[in-house]
Structures are given as C-alpha cells and as structure tokens.
Amino acid sequence: MKNRLKVLRAERDWTQADLANALAVSRQTANAIEKGKFDPSLPLAFKIARLFKLSVEDIFIDEDAS
C-alpha cells in the first residue's frame, strides 16, 4: 500500500528513528511501512494518523480501490 509517510516525516525534519520512537516501533518497521513493504496493523495506522493529525485515508492510498 502506498503512503505519504516519508513526505510527512520529512516536513517535520524527523529521522526514521524519530518516527519509530514516536510510534513505539523499530526503525526497521518504520522504514518498511514508509517503503510500502509492510502494511501497518489497523491500530498502528490510526496511531500514525493521530500523530500527524490526519485521517488514515490522507496518509495511506488504497491502490486497489476503483
């Protein structure tokens, strides 16, 4: 699933480690989500949305939606 995580993180001058710490996940997990190699659980997706004060849909793009 595509997402805007890298852009949102960069806008705040955060490293992947900063993002990982804010979400209580490993840097590797933050990296995998950012690159679209790992889809976060629903609770983690909501946590990410709350962190950036956006909706889940504003961060994650469902490529299968038609």
pLDDT of residue 55: 97
What digits encode the pLDDT tens for the residues 1-39? Answer: 899 999 999 999 999 999 999 999 999 999 999 999 999
**8 A C-beta contact, residue 5 and residue 34:** yes
Phi, psi for residue 5 in degrees, rounded to 5: -60, -45
**8 A C-beta contact, residue 48 and residue 40:** yes
pLDDT of residue 66: 56
What residues are paired with 3 via a beta bridge? 60
- Name all domains of the chain by residue range, CATH numbers in brackets: 2-57 (1.10.260.40)
12: helix, coil or strand? coil
For residues 60 and 47, give the distance between their C-alpha atoms in angstroms, rounded to a whole number: 13
What digits encode the pLDDT tens for the residues 32-54? Answer: 999 999 999 999 999 999 999 99
